[in-house]
Structure 1
Amino acid sequence: MTKSSYTKADNERIESAYDEYLMPIWKSLDVPVREASGCTLTDFEGNEYLDLFSGISVVNVGHGNEAVANAATDQLERFVHGCSYVHPNEPVADLAERIAEITPGDLQKTFFCNSGTEAVEGAVKLARKHTGSKEVIALEMAFHGRTLGSLALTGNRAYKDGMAPTLNDVAHAPAPYQYRSSHQDCSEAVFAERAAADIERVIDAHTSGDLAAIIVEPVMGEGGIVVPPADYLERVQTIAHEHDALLIADEVQTGYGRTGELFACEHFDVTPDILTQAKGIANGLPLGAFTAPAAIADSFESGDHLSTFGGNPVACAAALASIGELEGEVTANAREQGNWLTEELEALENEYAVVGETRGLGLMQGVELVNPDETGPNGVAPAPDPSLAKHVSSHLRDAGIVMGVGGFYKNVMRLQPPLSITQEELERGLDGLRVALEAER
């Protein structure tokens, strides 16, 4: 396709249709996409954009990945749907076996669904069935989904306004967010101890002693790319087990190579009791999953849980191909480029007063933008500057670069590109970020 076949009218037509016919559920990045390849998005005028967001951390092995596309196409030509829980089929069986092989520890049996939200809600149901208890501890600033069950776990009022009531068996503990903690100046080890103690305090003060699970993101995505201290997850799992509860690791955003390991919990030497997955699992095809050891998974009985479209064979075939790519060079590239990017972002933090902190693992990196002349919450760090983040995002988009904005305060630039990205492409993104920050000085 030549660029002469692209027209501005098509861009405007798509945007107009979104305004007129889609519910206003999400603020668009305003980049209509006609084609995508690797780390490049192309709109209807032929303009190209460097994608540093990968569709909210989804297209892990790159847009238009040939192996994934071929696997999905081959399965499409065989059959599309037979309800995977009614008619056993090869892609589902093979993918379940592969997940048992690649997930840590004794995680063995998987339930397939369609999204991360469904995976989270299914994991909570399984924890309740296995333990016989009902209450769940989640973290403030956490994001686990937007349906009423998962929304109850999400620790951010911005997602809940007008949506209450949700489940009432959920309590929230402070996030392990040292940059904005009153314990900002203590060592990482001491902070891990204090953050874990916060969970104990919430259990004692806000539950009835009927705890089924504690759910955490190994790295908090929507919360602002918050990486916990090294032994925090291990401490949380110990607390859960002491209360006869389970640890659920929500790896919907962190899984499938995003942090430089196949699963982020591997950075912390923790095997959760239940692990949720979605986003990068099938490189953009709708698929979610949660996986548990047989002793926990077999707590479900026939009819306890089901999904008509869960484990769609086309999506499962794509996931198998995506895992093959991740086990090849892609995850290694995420680790290598992530190490390089971490150093570059640390330099950016030292260079600009408006960059309060940079943090992340692999190719899941955040740049927290602040107003250095004002003090933020808890009086321990500069005030969040969501306005600056919004303007930086606009500058980047005008320069042909797509970068996400998130965080509890909407002030964190999110670098979560396809894991196949090259250092040259990352350099272009960082150059664009510097130009955008200079423009706002």
Structure 2
Amino acid sequence: MNYIGPEAILQKKQEYLIPCVYHFYKKPMQIVRGEMQYLYDHKGKKYLDLYGGVSVMNAGHCNPEIVEKICAQVNTLQHTTTIYLTQPIADLAEKLSEITPGNLKRSFFCASGSEANEGAALISQLFTKKSKFVAIEQGLHGRTKLTMNLTGIPMWRTDPYPSGNVTHIPAAYCYRCAYGLTYPNCDLKCARRLEDVVRDGDFAALIIEPIQGNGGIITPPPEYFQLIREILNKYKVLLITDEVQTGFGRTGKMFAIEHWDVVPDIMCMAKALANGTPLGAFITNDAVASAYTRPGASTTGGNPVSATAALATIDVIENYRLVEKAKELGDYFKNALNDLQQKYRIIGDVRGMGLMLGVELVKEDKIPAFDETDNILEQLKDLGILAGRTGISRNVLTFQPPLVITQNDIDHLCMVLGIILSKVSDG
């Protein structure tokens, strides 16, 4: 194929795309091929992908077992929409009822995480007959009008006319506590703030990521969700967990909320659900589902190709024990990052679970190391390693790789990162 190269793509992008569509790197590359945990640019350079398309490619890029089933489905039936009966969407709904926690059973399929969160918000209002929502500062829930208002990250709240129906409370960001307290002596004040908000009685639901991805891999302490659940039950407010980034083995459990032994009323998913094939969904229990009876549909949601891709993806995750692998490799990876933290003062905090890890980079007095993070990300790319960059101050190096990576991949990253950090520290 005749690749036009990064410069020509940038020129077309600047001329034909809306300016909000941004990209990583000062000198971006043209990605043309993927193979499990690797990506390749138009010149054939190989990159170890430790970001997974932002927590999407859990089963690996172009996983041959998934690709084979997608191609077979495309050659048979590509699209009919939900007004006709097809088997993959029903089989997928059945499978999700089996692998999600507790009494979650009934699914609605759409094409993205934003739509899934939007639908979850709608059904929570239908069930509770209440209008307001609580969300978490530093959370990210989508690009639609409502989900942008639910989002608690300023750079993603583009809407100049925000809704008055959303109240944000502080995140469980122990490294930078909003109240200046220290865990565990804080009495989980960030969680207790929820009761101050919902006691007015008109809140339909709290929407929350079990681990905040774009917020900087913010990971709540062990008691957090039990307290959240207790408060919500007291005031009859639903719990919506946004597992768009954390789902399907990413954190060492099939779904991250399982680390806290809490069952949500509604769970949202996308991204890794179909390993990059566009598909979103929310799943709920029989009681909440019973409130949504008027006709509803998503033209491409749960189409035969995407549903087949999702079923194949779940098969790969289960057959190759990728959930257990994420736990084992995640523990190894986190320990290696903690070792780097002991050597380099620029690493202020290491957090996360499984293969969803963040390294917050700071200067003196915890001042966010914004420029340094940008520089490190660029150097990693030049040396053939792709990572993420998240957090309110964009100073968290983020690792959300395909779950098919190896211990050797982790060792290679830590070696390269150590070399880069030593130069940054010397500078």
1:318 aligned partner: 309
Q: CA deviation at 1:92?
A: 0.2
Q: 1:166 aligns with which of 157, 162, 168?
A: 162
Q: Answer whether contact 2:5 2:30 (CA < 8 A) is retained.
A: no
Q: Answer whether contact 1:367 1:412 (CA < 8 A) is retained.
A: yes
Aligned length, in residue pairs: 421
The amino acid of 2:311's aligned partner reads L
Task: List alignment gaps of at least 5 residues for structure 2.
Answer: none
Mapped to 2, the partners of 1:169 and 1:11 lie a distance apart of: 43
Post-superposition CA distance 1:6-35 (Å, at most 9, x none) = 87x534333333233222224323231111
Q: 1:388 aligns with which of 354, 372, 379?
A: 372
2:293 aligned partner: 301
Q: CA deviation at 1:70?
A: 1.2
Q: CA deviation at 1:199?
A: 1.4
Is 1:179 matched with 2:175?
Answer: yes
Mapped to 2, the partners of 1:340 and 1:261 lie a distance apart of: 16
Mapped to 1, the partners of 2:280 and 2:21 lie a distance apart of: 21
Is 1:135 matched with 2:126?
Answer: no
The amino acid of 2:237's aligned partner reads A
1:15 aligned partner: 10
2:424 aligned partner: 440
Q: CA deviation at 1:78?
A: 1.3
Q: Answer whether contact 2:216 2:358 (CA < 8 A) is retained.
A: yes
Q: For residues 192 and 138 of structure 1, do their structure 2 counterparts lie closer, same or farther at Cα, with a shift above 3 Å needed?
A: farther
Q: 1:123 aligns with which of 117, 120, 123?
A: 120
Secondary structure of the structure 2 residue equivalent to 1:34: strand
Q: Answer whether contact 1:6 1:44 (CA < 8 A) is retained.
A: no
Mapped to 1, the partners of 2:230 and 2:418 lie a distance apart of: 43
Q: CA deviation at 1:192?
A: 5.7
Q: Answer whether contact 2:344 2:422 (CA < 8 A) is retained.
A: no
Is 1:228 matched with 2:220?
Answer: yes
Q: CA deviation at 1:334?
A: 1.0
Q: 1:252 aligns with which of 244, 248, 269?
A: 244
Secondary structure of the structure 2 residue equivalent to 1:78: coil
Post-superposition CA distance 1:64-120 (Å, at most 9, x none) = 111111111111111111112x01211100000000000000100000001100000
Mapped to 1, the partners of 2:338 and 2:9 lie a distance apart of: 39
Secondary structure of the structure 1 residue equivalent to 2:206: strand
1:379 aligned partner: none
Post-superposition CA distance 1:143-194 (Å, at most 9, x none) = 1112110011001222224x22132210000100010015666343x44632
The amino acid of 1:242's aligned partner reads K
> TM-score, normalised on structure 2?
0.95
Is 1:28 matched with 2:23?
Answer: yes
Mapped to 1, the partners of 2:173 and 2:14 lie a distance apart of: 37
Task: List alignment gaps of at least 5 residues for structure 1.
Answer: 376-381
> TM-score, normalised on structure 1?
0.92
Is 1:276 matched with 2:268?
Answer: yes
Mapped to 2, the partners of 1:266 and 1:330 lie a distance apart of: 16
1:378 aligned partner: none
Mapped to 1, the partners of 2:404 and 2:214 lie a distance apart of: 22
Mapped to 2, the partners of 1:255 and 1:191 lie a distance apart of: 29
| Matches for 1:80-159 after TM superposition, within 5 Å | 80-84=78-82, 86-159=83-156
Mapped to 2, the partners of 1:318 and 1:137 lie a distance apart of: 33
1:200 aligned partner: 195
